[in-house]
C-alpha cells in the first residue's frame, strides 16, 4: 500500500517517487494547498474504497499518516 500511495503522490505532485518517505509532509514538502488536499483525499477514497471525513483529512500530514489511516479504516 505504501508504494502505491507514493506512486499516486509522485504523479499528482510531479515529483520523483524515490524522494518520498513516510515522513514526507504533504503540505510542506509537496507544497499541497487546500484544493490539492481535497483532490488527494478523493483519490484515496476512490482507490481504497474508504471515506475520509474532513476533520480526519486535516490530521493526515505525512505519507505515514495516510498509510496508517487507510490501514486502520479499510
Catalytic residue positions, numbered: 33
DSSP element (H, E) containing 61 = none
Q: How many CB atoms lie within 10 A of CB 70?
A: 20
Amino acid at each position: 500500500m505504501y508504494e502505491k500511495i507514493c506512486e499516486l503522490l509522485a504523479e499528482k505532485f510531479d515529483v520523483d517517487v524515490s524522494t518520498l518517505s513516510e515522513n514526507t509532509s504533504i503540505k510542506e514538502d509537496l507544497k499541497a494547498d487546500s484544493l490539492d488536499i481535497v483532490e488527494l483525499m478523493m483519490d484515496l477514497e476512490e482507490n481504497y474504497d474508504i471515506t475520509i471525513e474532513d476533520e480526519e483529512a486535516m490530521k493526515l500530514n505525512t505519507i505515514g499518516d495516510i498509510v496508517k489511516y487507510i490501514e486502520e479504516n479499510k
